Amino acid sequence: MVTFYKPPVKKVVEKKACKVTCTDLDLQGRGVARDDKYVYFVDGLMPGDVANVLQDNVKGKIVTAKITKIIKPSEKRQKADCEVQSRCGGCSMQHVPDEMLIESKVKGIEKLFFKALNQSLPPVSFIHREDSHNYRRACRFAIRGDHGKLYLGFREEKSHNLVKVSKCLCLTDRINEAITPLTKVINTLKQKEHLGHIEFLDSDGALGILVRITKTMCDEDCMALETFGKEIGAVISVVEPYRDPLVISKVEVTRERFICGSVEDLFVISHGVKIKCKPSSFVQINKNINEKMLNTVLTMLGAQDNQNIMDLFCGIGNFTMPIAKTGAHVVGVDIVSKMIEDARNNAKEQGLDKAQFEVADLEELFENQSWAKAQYDSVVLDPGRQGAKRATLFLAKKKVPKIVLISCNPLAASRDVQELIKAGYEISSWGVCDMFPRTTHVEMIIEISLKDCKK
């Protein structure tokens, strides 16, 4: 007799909304609520809110949930000051007062590091904050078509849909003023269907605009953009496919080509040092917070004449140049060769002969390069969200007396600091920079010293 397998019938549990009162915010900006059975983590909820929430996922006593109705909003809940707040994913925390939000980030970091290191952080030394409006000097807009017309916008939260944007409270006035006229211009372009996205950089010089396109831009479209650039006094470049006619190869690369203006017109001032850049260059988007961050890092390093300092993940030299200005010899290292080339040119033009720049992938074998074998008094590193695992292990082995870590990802930072603690280091001081107000983002600066080398 043949026996057929019948899978067990899964019991479908109907999800029901339950009433909760939010008491805290976690490091991801989620509201935290508790009852006798569960701890709830809910996007959009803030301390003081009473709401009905629907369970989304249950793991042990931890529940992620969604708001179905806010029964009684917190007295501190801020009213929307942006017309696309409910759709745009840019400022997900604008309903929370700035002071409450940054305090919750500090508390979240303290809990995270205590769990990772099994020891408490020292009291927070500083919290750098600025105005939460008109702070953003660089941004990227996606482009979409609607009934034959193109528009610029930001993505909806947790979606690929685009929200049309003609003005943003976070952007500088000069960027906001350029959005609508630029939208009109790109709708006149012959190759508008090949456009990728638009980037703005409101530098300390001119306004920079970068146009990405999947096809080499034709002369007529270049002229239209050049005319627009001259009208508003902007530097405009295009990133497009390119095949070098002098190289026997079928491989296309991309190049950045200036349509209007030049690199002479576009620059940022970092702690008194003029750094020329391109519309495609990465710069710290919050100018005022960046200046405070530079002050803090230079103080922690104690940079002075005759010191030897290393700057890992240096970019175009945001830290490297001001360090060199103190008289210290500094080696800046980054993987992007074009940025290193620009940094070298800037250092030469500024007369900063103690600034040296090297190209290296800090996630691959780099330890045998001559700059890595040298001895250093201190190191500053500002990695991306993935952290600096390999570089941290290298520094721990090298026993550099002082390390200043800037991190946009506290989780990655806690992992990297853990390795340094194992190697005999300790956290001397730390603080946060509210680089992106009204968001879940937080920037950390951590001063880490080798115990035997502490003064």
Within the chain, how many helices (H) and strands (E) appear?
Answer: 9, 22
* Cβ atoms of 116 and 418 closer than 8 Å: yes
SS3 call for 207:
strand
* Beta pairing partners, 274: 269
Give which of 258, 255, 184 is closest to 226, Cα–Cα.
258
Q: Which helix (H) or strand (E) holds 236?
A: strand 234-242
**Look-up of token digits 């109907």:** 14
Question: What token pair was written down for 220?
Answer: 């007529």
91, 408, 433, 453: the catalytic one is 408
Q: Is 408 a catalytic residue?
A: yes
Q: Give the residue from 134, 239, 236 showing the smallest Cα distance to 177.
A: 134
For the purposes of burial, counting CB atoms within 10 Å of the CB of 218, is it exposed (0-12), middle (13-18) or buried (19 or more)?
middle
Expressed in percent and rounded to 5, the helix, strand and coil fractions of the chain are 25, 35, 40
DSSP code per residue over 119-165 = SPPPPP-EEE---SSS-B-EEEEEEEEETTEEEEEEEBTTSS-EEE-
Please name which of 226, 212, 210, 292 lies closest in space to residue 260, comparing C-alpha atoms: 226
All residues at 6 or more sequence positions from 217 whose CB lies less than 8 Å from its CB, including other chains: 191, 211, 238, 240, 257, 259
List the catalytic residues. 408
